[in-house]
């Protein structure tokens, strides 16, 4: 249902203070389940990003908090024009 790709240099980039990318692939065959799973993934990424941000602020001796830098980018692979006739399969 969900695939996660974490590049081999992900932790090295984070340790250097750079940003890293993680790819999440969600099977949208059952759209309701996919949206729930995507919500969980978004929450997990947000919490991890917040923890990294707070750690960096603490190391720099900065006081305060900024919103985490997580951005979810949705992409529809098999129906990019969102034609409704392609989304529904007759029973």
Domain range holding 13?
2-87
Mean pLDDT over 30-53 rounds to: 87
Q: What average pLDDT does the chain have?
A: 79
Q: According to the model, what pLDDT value does residue 81 have? A: 75
Nearest to 73 by CA among 34, 42, 36: 42
Mean pLDDT over 46-75 rounds to: 71
- Could you give the number of structural domains in the chain? 1
**Contact assessment for residue 42 and residue 72, using Cβ atoms and an 8 Å cutoff:** yes
**Contact assessment for residue 62 and residue 45, using Cβ atoms and an 8 Å cutoff:** no
Residue of higher predicted confidence among 75 and 38: 38
pLDDT of 62 higher than 60: yes
Q: What are phi and psi of 5, to 5 degrees?
A: -115, 120
- pTM value? 0.56
Confidence of residue 36 (pLDDT cuts 50, 70, 90): very high
């Amino acid at each position: 249902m969900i695939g996660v790709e974490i590049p081999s240099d992900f932790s090295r980039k984070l340790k250097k203070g750079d940003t890293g990318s993680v790819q999440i692939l969600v099977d949208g065959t059952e759209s309701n389940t996919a949206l729930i799973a995507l919500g969980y993934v978004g929450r997990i990424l947000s919490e991890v990003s917040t923890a990294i941000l707070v750690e960096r602020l603490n190391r720099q001796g900065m006081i305060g908090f900024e919103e985490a830098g997580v951005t979810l980018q949705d992409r529809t692979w098999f129906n990019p024009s969102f034609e409704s006739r392609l989304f529904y399969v007759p029973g």
